[in-house]
Chain A
Amino acid sequence: MPSESGAISRDEVAHLARLARLAVTETELDTFAGQLDVILGSVARVGEVAAEDIPPTSHAVPLENVFRPDELRPGLSQEQALSGAPAAEEGRFRVPRILGEEA
């Protein structure tokens, strides 16, 4: 499916899938490219509302310099940390190997 708004191309979706190590079929690429394009197109409409006098912003609240002192705070035990992991071994999270990666 050709892209509607041109916000994202099929090639870009394929590239993102490769970065994320997701195996995406040719058919899925067509589907996702179309869907993502619609989503990005919709989000882009927000930009149309912004006028010249509204500067881009990254934070909703105008705060600066929020710090904490360099003091230890209790965290999780190893058991707690691993309790939600699908797989663990030797006190560590076990994850699938990274395909096609060399360090």
Chain B
Amino acid sequence: MTAPALVDYADVVARYEPTLGLEVHVELSTNTKMFCGCATTFGAEPNTQVCPTCLGLPGSLPVVNRTAVESAIRIGLALNCSIAPWGRFARKNYFYPDMPKNFQTSQYDEPICVDGYMDVTLDDGEVVRVGIERAHMEEDTGKSLHVGGATGRIHGADYSLLDYNRAGVPLIEIVTRMIPGTGERAPEVARAYVTQLRDLIKSLGVSDVRMDQGSMRCDVNLSLSPAGSGVLGTRTETKNVNSLRSVERAVRYEMSRQAGVLDAGGEIVQETRHFEEQSGTTRAGRRKETSEDYRYFPEPDLVPIAPSESWVEELRGTLPEKPWERRARLQAEWGISDEELRDLVNAGAIDLISDTVAAGAPAGEARSWWVAYLAQQANARGVELAELPITPGQVARVIALVAAGDLNNKLARQVVDGVLAGEGEPDEVVESRGLTVVSDDGALIAAVDEALAAQPDVADKIRAGKVQAAGAIVGAVMKATRGQADAKRVRELIIERVGS
């Protein structure tokens, strides 16, 4: 059976109304797992971060990681949720080998955070309030490697190999309420929500929220209803959406696909679909199990969690300024446009500039170093700005040396090169490379006189009032001093010397 044709996007939004729902899983960056003291380091040798508890061996018992609970509460508070005064964990029973216990410890009808919201700002400034239904604690599953078969995917695999290092890593699942009424902007809203959620959680310092490494994962729920009908359609859940761009593409594709099915008189099947990164399409996965199939029941091995009001308030006191509020404040302080701000955000330069300013540099200088010379260096090395081996403090020091007249811009760049090359602190590079501005007038005058004598025609022009001709002499002096002269002082000396 061939799938019905995709419907052109403009046509979809003219005749259908999408309803979005987003489920985001965030792996916490705690030192240890949710219920045992095993390490959570990404990329370790398989099955080297495991113990009887996370392997589900008989006789082992789980104990809750206090930091993970605190992180869950802080995430909930940042999302304007209420914190449940009492709640239990639940066993979610299923039969895939990715959990050796044969169940995943999760929360079911008693999530720790409920009923919040986040105001999501789109690129043009429009604000969409996204309701948060719940955020609950659970544990991550192990990683399966499917061997054999034609595609290497699980379909047709001969057998699977399991690594349980990730099994039991603390996970927070954040579920939105249904988001109706976004119309043609549904893909944009989905992306903006996930972006903003990522920034928010990053600011809390509770997860590294790396979508590329799987520490943040997004499932997209989507349904269509005929425009104006008010009848909610059947939804699909698309998994494997592993980048912000994919979030947007997955929503857009599902809208076009579902409209095609509905136009052809078909029915949308409630199922899990998989996003294909390369083609930007989704394909059918398993029929969704109903929550009944998971036979949830309260976890008898873990006692209930009852966060006291004082504990919750103490945690509320640790919440940092919201990233978008901070950005607005910095934008005002630095006096930059929306567009300039967006460029800085996209370049990952906000924190770096802000830290450079905090280390004593003027905002303009700090910004110009990070977005110009340092951005070029990062580009040339193929790394993110933040990955450059130079700290905001070191950049601030270079800026201070320039301001003090010890370095000119050219020398300053050489100092930065030295720091990037691992030659030490800026002052050490200045010392070891002998990079200071020649400010000794005696030495400069000698060089100026020599250059004037070598180019008498230029000297005559300057004498005749063509001051701009001095550029050639400045160049010659800079060359003679290997760039270590203060160009402004050289220019002053040239005017002085031709007149004398």
Q: A: which residues have CB within 8 A of B?
A: 15, 19-21, 58-59, 61, 63-78, 81-82, 84, 89-98, 101-103
Contact = CB atoms under 8 A, between A and B. Distances in A.
Given A73-B38, A97-B160, A67 B64 contact: yes
A57 to B, nearest CB: 9
Interface string B288-301: 01000100011010
Nearest to A91: B46
B41 to A, nearest CB: 10
A75 B37 contact: yes
A21 B95 CA distance: 8
Contact of B162 (A64, A68, A95): A95
Given A64-B305, A64-B306, A75-B51, A70 B65 contact: yes
B323 to A, nearest CB: 25
A71 to B, nearest CB: 6
A81 B46 CA distance: 10
A6 to B, nearest CB: 17
A67 B164 contact: no
Contact of B37 (A72, A93, A96): A72
B63 A70 contact: no
A90 B161 contact: yes
Given A67-B64, A70-B31, A73-B51, A93 B162 contact: yes
Given A73-B38, A95-B159, A102-B154, A66 B46 contact: no
Nearest to B50: A81
Main secondary structure of the interface of B (DSSP, over half): loop
12 contacts: A64-B306, A72-B38, A73-B51, A75-B38, A75-B54, A81-B164, A91-B45, A94-B161, A96-B160, A97-B157, A102-B286, A103-B274
B298 A58 contact: yes
B145 interface: yes
A9 B212 CA distance: 46
A76 B37 CA distance: 11
Contacts of A96: 159-160
Contacts of B284: 102
Contacts of A70: 30-32, 65-68
Contact of A98 (B66, B86, B154): B154
Given A72-B39, A73-B36, A78 B293 contact: no
Interface in B158-184: 158-164
Given A92-B161, A97-B154, A68 B64 contact: yes
Contact of B163 (A15, A58, A66, A91): A91
A58 B284 CA distance: 38
Contacts of A21: 95
Given A59-B300, A61-B303, 4 more contacts: A76-B50, A89-B161, A91-B163, A97-B157
Interface string B19-46: 0000000000011100011110000011
A74 B289 CA distance: 37
Contact of A66 (B50, B64, B68, B153): B64
Contact of A58 (B36, B68, B88, B162): B88
A67 B286 contact: no
Nearest to B46: A91
B161 A77 contact: no
Interface string B123-164: 000000000000000000000011111000111011111111
B437 interface: no
A76 B305 contact: no
Contact of A68 (B55, B63, B100, B293): B63
A92 B145 contact: yes
Nearest to B143: A92
B303 A63 contact: yes
Contacts of A78: 45-48
Contacts of B475: none
Could you say which of B47, B161, B284 has the most chain A C-beta atoms within 10 Å of its C-beta?
B47
Nearest to B38: A75
Nearest to A87: B159
B304 A64 contact: yes
Contacts of B67: 69-70
A95 B279 CA distance: 31
